[in-house]
């Protein structure tokens, strides 16, 4: 899925003083529209990942409440999966937190030069996989996912 | 000023929508799980997810060395101390990848 990234027009010809040209920022899509477009591009991988994660977590018998709370509180797929698995196996809280941090760590997953996926100059979102789309908003005027 | 406002609006909408979709997806999976037949390999979904995230990153010798080392150290440590498998595997993998990268360069 590719996202058509559009920027506000730059260098548009100047209009006559009687009819001033519209501001460049108003010609491009709004930040809200850009957010929706970027999220749409990510949804193709994020939704199947979330459903698979939900099935896995439900099969761990840790409880539906804990599964839903994990999705909201941890907000990260791979770390949530590893943490929930360890909790269901009775691991110590410190070990669960440390494992979640490691899985979610930018340093371990994408920050090291030799661990980056091919074709990317900077890493994707840490560990989640669902937010590591290369078609993210990296070319936005105000920054992007990294 | 407009750029800062755009920055905030973009990430606010992006974050709220992301949280909504992610939570809804996990909830669908949780609700779907009892309907699925109790097949033994359903427990391998998590492993498949991690492998699918790993494969695009195996682009060089350091990455392969890191993954191979972690694949050996992690399960072995889990046999001895179950709660330290991920931590030990990650540390060993990072160390192996770093050493291999230095040797190559």
Helix B2-32 with A64-73: angle, nearest 10 deg? 160
Which of B42, B63, B82 lies closest to A89 in CB terms?
B82
Contact B50, A111 (CB under 8 A): no
Structure tokens at B82: 């179950």
Cα gap B51→B53, rounded to integer Å: 5
Maximum alpha-carbon separation in chain A: 74
CB of A142 within 8 A of CB of B90? no
Contact B10 A31 (CB under 8 A): yes
Average pLDDT rounded to a whole number, residues B22-40? 83
In this structure, what DSSP letter does residue A111 have? I
Contact A75 B66 (CB under 8 A): no
pTM (2 d.p.): 0.61
Please report the pLDDT score of residue A76 as a whole number: 65
The residue of B26, B31, B57, B97 whose CB has the most chain A CBs within 10 angstroms, and thus the best one to mutate to test that interface, is B26
Q: What percent of chain B has pLDDT over 70?
A: 98
Taking the alpha carbons at both ends of chain B, their separation in whole angstroms is 45
One pLDDT digit (tens) per residue for chain A, 146 residues: 344 444 444 444 444 455 454 455 556 788 888 888 888 888 888 888 888 888 877 777 666 666 667 666 666 677 777 777 777 777 778 888 887 787 777 544 555 555 555 555 443 443 344 444 334 444 454 544 43
Q: Where are the beta strands (DSSP E) in chain A?
A: none
CB atoms A86 and B86 under 8 Å: yes
């Amino acid at each position: 899925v590719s996202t058509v990234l559009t920027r506000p027009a730059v260098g548009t010809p100047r209009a006559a003083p009687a009819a001033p040209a519209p501001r460049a920022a108003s010609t491009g899509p709004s930040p809200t529209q850009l957010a929706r477009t970027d999220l749409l591009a990510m949804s193709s991988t994020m939704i199947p990942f979330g459903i698979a994660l939900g099935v896995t977590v439900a099969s761990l018998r840790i409880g539906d409440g804990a599964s839903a709370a994990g999705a909201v509180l941890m907000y990260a797929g791979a770390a949530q999966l590893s943490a929930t698995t360890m909790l269901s196996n009775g691991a110590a809280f410190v070990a669960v937190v440390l494992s979640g941090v490691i899985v979610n760590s930018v340093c371990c997953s994408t920050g090291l030069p030799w661990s980056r996926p091919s074709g990317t100059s900077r890493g994707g979102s840490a560990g989640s996989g669902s937010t590591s789309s290369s078609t993210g908003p990296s070319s936005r005027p105000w920054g992007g996912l990294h | 000023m407009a750029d800062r406002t755009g920055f905030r609006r973009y990430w606010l909408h992006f974050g709220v929508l992301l949280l909504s979709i992610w939570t809804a997806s996990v909830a669908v999976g949780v609700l779907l799980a009892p309907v699925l037949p109790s097949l033994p390999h359903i427990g391998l979904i998590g492993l498949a997810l991690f492998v699918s995230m790993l494969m695009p990153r195996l682009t060089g010798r350091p990455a392969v060395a890191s993954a191979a080392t972690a694949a050996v150290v992690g399960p072995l440590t889990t046999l001895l101390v179950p709660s330290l498998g991920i931590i030990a595997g990650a540390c060993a993998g990072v160390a192996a990848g770093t050493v291999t990268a230095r040797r190559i360069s």
